[in-house]
Amino acid sequence: MGSLLKKVSFNGFMLAIGLLMIIPFVFMISASLKAPADVFINPLNIIPDEIFTFNYETLFNHEYYFKWYWNSIRVVVLTVIFRGVFVTMAAYAFARLEFKGKELLFLLLLSAMMIPQDTTIVARFLLYGVMGLNNTQWAIILPATFDVFFIFLLRQFFMGIPKDLSEAAIIDGASHFGIYFRIMIPLSVPVLITMTLFTFIWTWNDFVNPFIFISDIEKQLVTVGLEYFQLEAGQNYALQMAGSCLIVLIPMALFAFLQKYFIEGITMTGVKG
C-alpha cells in the first residue's frame, strides 16, 4: 500500500514538473482565444468564458503572415534537400574512403565548428552582399547546406554500418556511387530523419540569419515575421499570442511525433564527448 502511494505521488510530482515547463504555452493558447481587453483580467482563468476567434480571423486576413509561413517551409525544404546531398556525400568520404590529408581536413572542419556564429556575422553580411545572396532566401539556404555538425553526425553513423556490405559490393563490381546509393543511404534512414527534424526546427526558429540577410518584409521567414507582426499588433497581446501560437505549434507537433529521432540525435552527438 505504501509503495503504491509512493508511486502515485511520484507520478504526480513528475506531472507537476512537466506542467510547470509547458504552462507558458498553455497561457499562450488561452490568451489567443480571449478578447484583447481580457488578457490581464484574471489570467489564471485558463479556459476563457467565451471563445474569441477574432484574433485568428485577423491573422488569416494578414497581408504577410502566411507568406512568411510559405517562405519558411520553402527554405526548410530546400535546405533539407541540399544538405541531404552535399553532407551525406562528404560524410561518406570521411567515413569510408582513404585519401591524402583526410585527418587534416576533418580537423579543419571540426575547428571551424568551434567558432561562434556571431564572430563572423559582419564578414558574412559583407561577403554574401558581394556574392549577391543578400535579401534572397539563398543567403539562408546555401550557408546552411555546408554544415559541419551533420557531417560529424553522419560520419559517426556511416562508420557504424558493417564494412563487409560495401566490400562485398566492391567485389561485385559496384562503384562508390553504387555503395553510397544502394547501401549507405537506405541503411541511414533513421539518421536522415533526425537530420531533417533538426534542420526543420533550427531553420524554423532561427532569428539572426534571416534578420541580418533578408531586408524585404515579404521575403521574411516566420521568426522575424513574428517580430514585425508583434510591432504591428502593438499592445494587442491577444493578437500577439494568436500569431505566436501557429508558429510554435508546428515544430511542437513534429517533435511530439518524432521525439525518438530527436533524442537519438542529441544522444549521438553528446555522449561521445
Partner 1 sequence: MKSTSTAPKRSLLDKIRLMPYKEKGAAIIFILPFMIGFLALNIFPIIYSFVISFMDYNTLKPLSDASFIGFENYLRIFDDPIALSAFVKSFKYTLVYVPGVMIFGFLLALLLNRTFALRGIARTMILMPYVANVVAVALIWSILLNPTNGPVNQFLAMLGIENLPLWLVGVDTALPTIALINVWQSLAFQTIVFLAAIQGVDKSLYEAAVIDGANKWQKIFHVTLPSISPTTFFLLVTSIIGSFQNYATVRMLTNGGPGNASRVISLNIYEEAFALNHYSYASAQAIVLFLIVLVLTIIQWKGQKRWVHY
Which positions from 94 through 133 interact with partner 1, judged by CB under 8 A?
94, 97-100, 102, 105, 108-109, 112, 114-128, 131
Q: Name the minimum Å distance from CB 35 to partner 1.
A: 15
| Residue 273 to residue 269: CA distance in whole angstroms | 8
| Residue 21 to residue 113: CA distance in whole angstroms | 31
> Using the rule CB under 8 A, is 51 a contact of partner 1?
no
Q: Fill in the amino acid letter for 29.
A: I
Q: Name the minimum Å distance from CB 57 to partner 1.
A: 20
Q: Name the minimum Å distance from CB 89 to partner 1.
A: 5
Q: Among 10, 54, 60, 70, which residue interacts with partner 1 (rule: CB under 8 A)? A: 10
Question: How many amino acids of this chain bind partner 1 (CB under 8 A)?
Answer: 96
Q: Name the minimum Å distance from CB 61 to partner 1.
A: 20
Q: Name the minimum Å distance from CB 9 to partner 1.
A: 10
> Using the rule CB under 8 A, is 190 a contact of partner 1?
no
Of the two residues 66 and 86, which places its CB atom closer to partner 1 in the complex?
86
> Using the rule CB under 8 A, is 205 a contact of partner 1?
yes
| Residue 242 to residue 171: CA distance in whole angstroms | 60
Of the two residues 17 and 51, which places its CB atom closer to partner 1 in the complex?
17
Of the two residues 27 and 66, which places its CB atom closer to partner 1 in the complex?
27
* Closest C-alpha to 96, from 21, 8, 150, 175: 175
Cell of 62: 494578414
Q: Name the minimum Å distance from CB 77 to partner 1.
A: 18
- Residues 6 or more apart in contact with residue 58 via CB below 8 angstroms: 239, 242
| Residue 108 to residue 102: CA distance in whole angstroms | 10
Site map 21..40 versus partner 1, x via CB under 8 A: xx-xx-xx--x-------xx
Angle, vertex CA 126, rays to CA 123 and CA 132, nearest 5 = 135
52 vs 33, 156, 216, 230, 240, CA distance in Å? Answer: 5, 51, 32, 19, 14
> Using the rule CB under 8 A, is 237 a contact of partner 1?
yes
